[in-house]
Amino acid sequence: MPTPTIPQSITSTAPNSPTIICERNERPGDSWRKRYKSLCLHDPVWYDHLPYIKFPENWPVFSPKDKIGDWLEMYTRVMELNYWTSTTARSARYDEAAGEWVVVVERDGQEITLRPKQLVMATGMSGKPNLPEIPGMDVFRGDQHHSSQHPGPDAYRGKKAVVIGSNNSAHDICAALWEAGADVTMVQRSSTHIVKSDSLMDISDDGWRQVIDANLVSYVGCTKKAIERIRANGRDDGQIILVGSISVHIKAVGESVYNASKGGVAMFAETLRKEMIPEKIRVTLIEPGAIATHLQPFDEAKLAEFERTLEMLPAVEVAEAILFAATRPPGVDVVTLRIEPLVQKIA
């Protein structure tokens, strides 16, 4: 699918860095247009904005495939992308001596060798069909095909159908078959964990950005300034202490955006610690559980009750954890310190 390739080419393009996008289909967006009739975005449309040009405000939240295909085609023209259609990659290898890739493509029947410095392979998460071997397939008289070849539900009205698998495509196809009057059965190997999308869908565009800004972007900005001050003072015993959350381990329903931000903090802390070791700057991540503070949506009496029942930590315990990490000798790096109330919410 070309979707990840297009923004990559936009964001990586510089005056001295020409970019070519190779697409095996005849038109940009065809990898969407050629799929089954009921395909649509499975993420809210505001998750999928392309650089510089956002989707219109009046677009469906889960936009249908043909609208996405047409938008991608329009985008390649408006952004004047160097987009080679009807082009198939045949081989790719890295030339160590030259420091470049050798990529052989076939374009309109002609073989062309490209030598880019960078190569992005954007075939999608499931770009290659996976056809399982099922006993009896060779003698089955009915129609058999992979979801990538599914023509739509119309031809199966009044017939029996079985869909093997239970991911997004399977649900889309099953729903469309049922609506068209087919007797359809979905087969899957194990149970499915189902979570409502309300928590994600109810938050506004400005709302989730505010959560990310407050819980991740601000951490990165403040940390950068702190490191600059440590360097300016010529110290060799500096320390950065970041306060994250155990929510990244619990993954509670209803906290998807918050968890994304705190997960970012955890990865940021882990990577930064490795980067700062040569400068003897220690990086500590403290991950507390639920804390009885005024940031919680409860009054004083309820917060006190949560402390008594051991469901929330007193705020002073987080301060104690920070003090503990900050008072270790310079040669001791408290990497991660996780504290939580004895009776911690786990779902």
Q: b/e string for 308-331 if b means 16 or more Cβ within 10 A?
A: eeebbbbbebbeebbeebeeeeee
Percentage of the chain exceeding pLDDT 90: 51
pLDDT at 106: 96
Q: Return mean pLDDT, the chain.
A: 86
Beta strands in the chain (DSSP E): 21-22, 83-84, 87-95, 100-107, 110-114, 160-164, 183-187, 239-243, 282-288, 336-339
Tell me the CATH number for domain 5-114: 3.50.50.60
Mean pLDDT over 152-172 rounds to: 91
Assign domain 129-192 to its CATH superfamily.
Answer: FAD/NAD(P)-binding domain (3.50.50.60)
CATH top class, domain 198-339? alpha beta
Domain ranges in the chain with CATH number 3.40.50.720: 198-339
Least confident of 48-52, 203-207, 271-275, 302-306: 203-207
Q: Is 245 exposed, middle or buried (0-12, 13-18, 19+ CB in 10 A)?
A: buried
Least confident of 126-130, 138-142, 260-264, 303-307: 126-130
pLDDT at 2: 39
d(CA 286, CA 317): 11
Least confident of 173-182, 241-250, 270-279: 241-250
Q: Answer for the pair 59, 67: CB distance below 8 angstroms, yes or no.
A: yes
Q: pTM of whole model > 0.75?
A: no
Mean pLDDT over 100-120 rounds to: 94
Q: Which residue, 216, 320, 222, is CA-closest to 258?
A: 216
Mean pLDDT over 11-37 rounds to: 81
pLDDT at 252: 76
Mean pLDDT over 248-264 rounds to: 84
Residue 110 pLDDT > 70 = yes
Residue 142: phi and psi, rounded to 5, are -85, -175
pLDDT at 111: 95
Residue 96: phi and psi, rounded to 5, are -60, -40
pLDDT at 47: 76
3 state SS of 25: coil
Residue with tokens 């991740």: 216
d(CA 222, CA 215): 11
Q: b/e string for 55-64 if b means 16 or more Cβ within 10 A?
A: beeebeeebe
